[in-house]
Structure 1
Amino acid sequence: MKRFLIMLGIVALAVALLAGGYVAGRRQSPASTAAANTGKTDASGRKVLYWYDTMVPQQHFDHPGLSPMGMQMVPKYADEVTGGEAGVVTIDPATVQNLGVRTAPVEKRVLAAAMQVPGTVTWNLREATTVSARVDAVIAQLDVRAPYTTVAAGQPLAELLAPQWNSALAEYRALQQAQSAAARALRHAARERLRVLGLSDADIRAARPGKDATLTLHAPRAGVVTSLDVREGQRVAAGQTLMTLNSLATVWVEAALPQGAAGAVRAGTPVTVTVDAVPGRRFHGTVEALLPDVDTATRTQKARIVLDNPDAVLSPGVFATVQLMPARGEAVPVVPDEALIATGRDTRVILAEGDGRFRAVPVHTGRSDGGYTQVLDGLAGGERVVVSGQFLIDSEASLSGALERLNTAAKPGSATRAAMPGMATSQGEPR
């Protein structure tokens, strides 16, 4: 029994010694490990600070080989983490190649001006004419009995029975043979009264003397009866609208412009309109006005376009495709769309400064076209931006706050770290 206890104590002591050695080894600081490797160089002559596993970069080792996870360890060189400008993220060339980082120049170019937007054909309200009753009357007969009837200029529209017209006509005719100056003045006044009551010279000539006060209303112009507001036999009051005529000689097209494109459109901008109802035909016109009203649902602004429609093939309500051609502007700095990183608070690009150095630059963007976006502020042109792999650089560096402190002076004693394997910052401290 005594012998068994002695052996058990020896085993416990050995286990304690092994555990203490393991904990001491785990607690060894990276700084001391790095210090122990000062002066070590590889075959290329570069100074090596330590070796690490790219899967567990916080663990540092003083020799190459396999890590505890079975991965081949890579060296951290002293020239990767020393010197440089504050806020610059540095990646060794091998890592840049592994990430597939591609860059593109910031060019100055004129963005294509043509844009294509949807539109709708509507009536040209400037061509609308209202036919109304000038006096109290009764609709004795309607010659146009349905809306959207096409009428010619001078065509009869309706016959109205109005006693007030009859008395005014009788007074005018009674003075036709008068020769005195006073009588001629009264006759002129009677004619002006008829004009105020809505009677033209043709209406006066067509009136039937000595009979009822029924007069015929004629179409003042050719067009379409877009609204018919009365029926035969109905009594109407002075000023009441009887019907509305509208011409199809010209039509409006209301194009819906996105807010980003509305700023490039002005009155007089030439447009080309196509409609599915008339395949193969193009209608040319100009923007008459940019309407000061933004649709709250679609966030689009309407542009009013005037089109000639001599053969009346364009009907109001038809969907149209509108191609606008604003005047060409001057060359502006542009970047490929894939280079932009939208964070929700701002937009930025990763600027490649050469020798594995990358910097995040906030930019203000304008309109886009053909895969390129205009840069209003932040870039001048001639720089190179990352277009592939920039999200890896951005996300990995943001974990340690490197990109949040770009372009700001480093505080004493602070260090900017990067979590990406093979990445360092210019603060001068290894990971």
Structure 2
Amino acid sequence: MTAFSSSRGRLALSAAAIALVAGVGGYGLAHLRKARPPAGAAAAENRKVLYWYDPMVPAQHFDKPGKSPFMDMQLVPRYEGEAVGAAAGVQIDPAAVQSLGVRLASVQRGEFAQSLDATGVLEFNQREVAIVQARAAGFVQRVYARAPGDVVRAGAPIADLLVPTWSGAQTEYLAVRRAGGPALEAAARQRLRLLGMPDSLIEAVARDGRPRTVVTISTPIGGAIQTLDVRQGMTVNMGQTLAQVSGLSTVWLNAAVPEAMAGQVRVGQTGRAELAAFPGQTFDGRVTAILPTTQTDSRTLTVRIELPNRGGRLRPGMFATVHLDGEARPALFVPSEAVIRTGKRAIVMVAGAGGRYQPIEVQLGREDGDRTEILAGLTEGQKVVASGQFLIDSEASLAGVEARRPNATPSAAAQPGLYESRGRIEALTVDSITLSHEPVPAINWPAMTMTFKLDPPGLSKGMKVGDRVSFGFEQRPSGPVVRRLVPAVAQ
């Protein structure tokens, strides 16, 4: 009972400490915002007070100053004109900005290539497989010291096969070779090939002048023996498989890519693999196939990457991490830390003149390391808050400042380098859209209906045929590609 009471006491003290820290944070921001009054502070003191409030419970208003009934702090006045609205944003005193450690970053345009990380397993290259068969019926006279799993070089012997039926055919060939002309000899030699004799054996018979009925079966490629079904003294039939060898000059890395990221992978894409067995080393390869089925349990698809295996160090069964590099192209981006993700939308705090900050709702694209692509909402050169934006966003909420949506001002959402237009959606697929659009004077396009590719493919999510949209596209060698797509603003 004593231990239980002690535990409850420690929990109560922890809860009180958390509440105290939260209260100090909320009060600190409200206090810092007024800690350094601007020029004309005397005039500001004459402003009309609308109400008093507790920064931790901003919805509750009081008609006179005093101590907050919720927290151990004084109520803060809200002056007339402080709630400046969504257009101007919220103003924060420079001293508060410095105390909060606010750091700004620029909205930039540059080469942007999205990388994708996935895990995979190394496997044998199934296109590099040799099946060793008996080319004639006979008896296994000798087997060499081989076993499944052995790594052999090309031409390594597997077994010696005695073929009694070859003796008569070789005797006839030797007789024709001695008495007949070149035409008859060529016909006899062809007959020996049809009986399954390799050219090397035929040459040995012609050179020695005596029949040879024992042939050595060897592997045509180097690699690992997968199966070995031959034993000394056994009888084999024509076409019977004696061994299977898988080459090791290249291996497959079968990577599991999430279904939601399938649109970022293409055949021919380069990739880098890292293995725990070789820390600090990377192995470069290329995507050779994207398998047509998706794993229903994990919702992933298999991407096959072919890796060179110099020295045979990469062994099937090893786990690897693969990094796939996307196509690099110009894009507008901000530091990923500047984006506030609320679940339903993404917000960036834009710094303006006079210490004002405006929350802007943005449309996000791809991610590349610590950078996030911006499809709509910002323009190149704007300053965004990269550190301390959560406290500024809280202050904006207290001031009643709403985040501006990307389609509220089309000129602000437009991206440099994109051709802008408006139109009506006529058809939609996963990665394309057909639009009846207005003229595009910048490239001398008249009004017409045409189909565009979408990048990323999910850009039209939530839209339907018949919707009016504002869009931005870029010209690529493969055709025009829509990079920005938002509902059109009613005129």
**What's the TM-score bracket when you normalise by the shorter of the two chains?**
0.5 to 0.7
Deviations 1:38-64 (A, max 9, x none): xxx975255314222224644342x54
Distance 1:88 1:122 in 2: 59
Gaps of 5+ in 2: 1-40, 410-491
Q: 5 Å matches for 1:196-207?
A: 196-204=194-202
- Residue identity opposite 1:231 in structure 2: R
Instruction: Give the aligned partner of residue 379 of structure 2.
Output: 380
**Deviation for aligned residue 1:406:** 8.3
Name the counterpart of 1:53: 53
Per-residue CA deviation, residues 96-128 of structure 1 (Å, 9 max, x unaligned), is: 949948353223455688888666554455554
User: What does residue 44 of structure 2 align with?
Assistant: 44
What does residue 366 of structure 2 align with?
Answer: 366
Partner of 1:242: 242
Structure 1 counterpart of 2:192: 194
Is the contact between residue 398 and residue 404 of structure 1 (CA under 8 Å) also seen in structure 2? no
Match of 1:156 in 2: 157
Q: Which residue of 2 aligns with 1:217?
A: 217
Q: Partner residue of 2:81? A: 79
Deviations along 1:223-260, whole A, 9 cap, x unmatched?
54343133334443433321133454x23252737566
Structure with bigger RCO (C-alpha 8 Å, 6+ apart) = 1
- Give distance in 1, aligned partners of 2:114 and 2:313: 29
1:292 matched residue in structure 2? 290
Q: Which structure would you say has the larger Rg?
A: 1
Paired position in structure 1 for 2:136? 135
1:335 aligns with 2:337: no
User: Are the aligned partners of 1:53 and 1:74 in contact in 2 as well (CA < 8 Å)?
Assistant: yes
- Structure 1's unaligned 5+ residue stretches are 1-40, 410-431
In the alignment of these two chains, the number of paired residues is: 355
Q: Which residue of 2 aligns with 1:231?
A: 231
TM-score normalised by length of structure 1: 0.62
> As a proportion of its length, which structure holds more strand?
2
Quick one: which amino acid aligns to residue 331 of structure 2?
V
Change (3 A) 1:399 1:146: farther
CA contact (8 A) 2:164 2:213 kept: yes
Is 1:267–1:287's contact at 8 Å kept on the other side of the alignment? no
Go from structure 1 to structure 2 and tell me whether the alpha carbon gap of 1:148 and 1:263 turns closer, same or farther (over 3 Å shift): same
- The amino acid of 2:253's aligned partner reads E
Aligned to 1:251: 250
Partner Cα distance (1:407, 1:155) in 2: 70
Quick one: distance in 2 between partners of 1:279 and 1:368? 23
TM (norm. structure 2) is 0.56
Aligned partner of 2:346 in structure 1 is 347
Distance 1:58 1:382 in 2: 39
Note if contact 1:110-1:328 (Cα within 8 Å) is conserved in structure 2: no
CA distance in 1, matches of 2:95, 2:192: 92
Equivalent position of 1:173 in the other structure? 174
8 Å CA contact 1:156–1:219 kept in 2: the answer is yes
Q: Is the 8 A contact 1:118 1:256 kept in 2?
A: yes
Cα distance in 1 for residues equivalent to 2:282 and 2:408: 57
- SS of the aligned residue for 2:140 comes to strand
What residue is the counterpart of 1:393 in the other structure?
393
* Range 336-345 or range 119-128, more displaced: 119-128
Q: How many Å apart are 1:382 and its aligned residue?
A: 2.0
Question: 1:256–1:301: 8 Å Cα contact kept in structure 2?
Answer: yes
| Counterparts in 2 of 1:154 and 1:266: CA distance versus 1, 3 Å | closer
Deviation track 1:167-186 (CA, whole Å, cap 9, x = no partner) reads 543443342234257xx34x
Aligned to 1:147: 148
How far is 1:67 from its partner?
6.2
Judging changes above 3 Å, is the alpha-carbon distance between structure 1 residues 323 and 198 closer, same or farther for their aligned structure 2 residues?
A: farther
Q: Percent identity?
A: 27
